[in-house]
Structure 1
Amino acid sequence: MRRPPLRACRILLLLILALGAGCVSLGNRPKPLRIGVRANAAPFSYRQSRQWQGIEIDLGRALADRLGRRPVFIALPPDDLVPALLEQRVDVLMAGLAVTEDLRVQIDFAPPYLASGQGVLVRRADLPRVPTLRSLRAAVARAAVIPDSTAEALLERYFPRASHHPFANLDYAVQALLNNRVDMILGDAPALWGQLRRHPDALGMAPVVFARQEIAWGFRHGNARLRQAAQLALDDWQRDGTLERILRDWLPVSP
C-alpha cells in the first residue's frame, strides 16, 4: 500500500493541531453574562431600532465589560423574572427591581443604586401650582392611574380630593393628560420619567416622590461571587462618577 506524501501528512497534522487549539480556546472563553431585563420598560430597558437602550442596558454592558464577558440581554415578562433567575435561564436580573421583603426571601440583592417610588406627572404649565406634596394632596384633580397598580392602591391615601380615572396603560393616560382630560398621572416614577423624555416640552414631573422604593439587581442565593463582583463595580462607579453619569443620561429629574 502506498504511503501518503510526507507533505500531506504534515498538513493533516497541522490541521488537527489547529482544530484542537480552537477547541481549547473555545472551552476557555468566558461564558456570556445573561442579563434578565424587561422589554418596553423605559428608562430601564427598551428596544429602539432593534437596539437595546436604557439605564440597565448601559449598566449591564459596563458590568459585563468589567468581568470580561459578553452581555446577552434576555427580555422577560414581569412574572417570569424571578423564575428565570431561579431556573438559571439568566445570571442576573437588571430589570428595575424594587427591593421588597417578599423578594428578599427568594433572591439576593446587590446594594441599591437608585431611590425611586411613586411620582406625579402633570402638564408643564401646571407645575407652578404643585410645588410640594402638600399642594398636590390639597388639589381637586382628575388623577389617571393604571388598574391594580401601586399608585391606584395609594390614590385615596395620598390624594383624598382627587377623582379616580383608570387607563389600560400609561400611553393612554399620557394622551388623556395632553388632551386635558385628566390633570395628573400617578405611577412608578421611572416609568413617568420615561414618558417625560418623550414629551419634555409638554409635560413635567412634580418635585415629589412618595412611597419610596430602592432599585437593585437580583441574584440567585448562593451566587455570592457574581453578587460581590457587582457590588465592587457599583462601589467603584459611585466613586468615579460613572453611575451618576449613566443615571443623568436617562433621568430628566433628580431621583
Structure 2
Amino acid sequence: MKKIVAFLTFMLAFSSSLFASDNTLWQKSTLNEIIERGTLRVGMEAGYMPFEMTNKRGDIVGFDVDIARQMAKAMGVKLELVNTAWDGIIPALLTGKFDIIMSGMTLTPQRNLQINFAQPYIVVGQTILLRKGLEGEIKSYKDLNNKKYTVATKLGTTGEQATKRYLSKSDIRLFETEADGALEVANGKADAFVYDLPFNAIYSSQNPGKLTHLDTAFTHEPLAWGIRKGDPDFENWLNNFMRQIRGDGTYDKIYGKWFESSDWQKTLN
C-alpha cells in the first residue's frame, strides 16, 4: 500500500511539474503576448508584387496583407504592419520589433538555423526577365551562364543565391530592391533579371514590349511565415489557421484576388 501511495504521490508531483512547465511556456509564447497586447505586429518589406506593395494612397496591400488581416481577425486583435528593409528583417524579428515575418520569405536551411517557420503557404521559383533583343538567343537560364551577359538580381534573396549558383560565369549585379533590378533590364542596362516568378510575371505584363519573361521556374521555393524559435504554441496555431482558411475557401478567395486578377494593379503608383 505504501508503494502505491508513494507512486501516486510521485506521479502527482511529476504531472504538476509538467503542467507548470507548460503554463510557463504558454506565458512566454508570442501568441499569448499578441492576445494580451491586442495587436498582431507583422514584419514585411513592401515591394514584392503581389505579396506586399504600396498603393497610391500609401497603404501597404497585397496577398500577404490580406492573409494577415484574416489572421488578426481570427485572433480577435488589431493588425499592425511594420515595413522593414529586407536585409534587416530577420534581426528585427529576433529583437522583437514584430511578431512574425509575412513577406514572401523562402524557407531555406540557412534561415531555419536562425528562425522557425510555419508550414509553407505557397510554392514559387526563380524565373528570368530578358532585355529586348535576346528572345531568340536565350532559351533558358543555362544560356546566361556566360561572362558576356550581365545578370541582375536582388541582394540577400534566394534570387541572389540561385544566380551565384547557376550563373556564376555571368557578370552579376546586385540591387537593393527588385524594382531597381528589373528596371535595369527594362532600360537595356542589364541582359537579365533573376527573381521570383510572381513578381517577374506581373512586371513583364506591366512593361509590354520592353522585355521577355522566361516563365519556367528553375528552382523550387516554398514560402513560409517566420517566427522566433522556442515557440511551439504559436507555430501550432499558425499551422492550424492555414488548414482552416484553406478548408473554408478563404485562401482561394484571396489567391484569386491577387494572382488570377489584375484589377489591383490600377491602384498602384
TM-score, structure 1 normalization: 0.69
Q: Specify which of 54, 79, 82 is matched with residue 74 of structure 1.
A: 82
Q: Looking at secondary structure, tell me which structure has more strand per residue.
A: 1
- Tell me the equivalent position of 1:33: 40
TM-score, structure 2 normalization: 0.66
Counterpart code for 1:37? M
Cα distance 1:193–1:86, how it changes in 2: closer, same or farther (>3 A)? Answer: same
Cα contact 2:124–2:222 (8 A) shared by 1 = yes
Gaps of 5+ in 2: 1-34, 262-269
Shift in Å, 1:216: 0.4
Task: Find the aligned partners of 1:204 and 1:240 in 2 and give their Cα distance.
Answer: 38
Cα contact 2:118–2:224 (8 A) shared by 1 = yes
Counterpart code for 2:129? L
Task: Find the aligned partners of 1:250 and 1:208 in 2 and give their Cα distance.
Answer: 20
RMSD: 3.5
Task: Note if 1:247 corresponds to 2:255.
Answer: yes
- Tell me the equivalent position of 1:63: 71
Q: Specify which of 119, 122, 126 is matched with residue 114 of structure 1.
A: 122
Shift in Å, 1:38: 1.3
Q: Specify which of 137, 153, 156 is matched with residue 142 of structure 2.
A: 137
SS in 1 for 2:81: strand
Work out the number of aligned pairs and report it: 222
**Rg larger for:** 1
- Tell me the equivalent position of 1:11: none
Structural mapping, 1:88-127, within 5 Å: 88-122=96-130
Q: Deviations over 1:17-38 (max 9, x none)?
A: xxxxxxxxxxx97611111111
Structural mapping, 1:1-255, within 5 Å: 31-48=38-55, 49-122=57-130, 135-138=140-143, 142-146=149-153, 150-151=158-159, 154-155=162-163, 158=166, 164=171, 166=173, 168=175, 170-180=178-188, 182-196=190-204, 198-199=206-207, 205-251=213-259
Counterpart code for 2:88? D
Counterpart code for 1:65? K
Cα contact 1:127–1:206 (8 A) shared by 2 = no
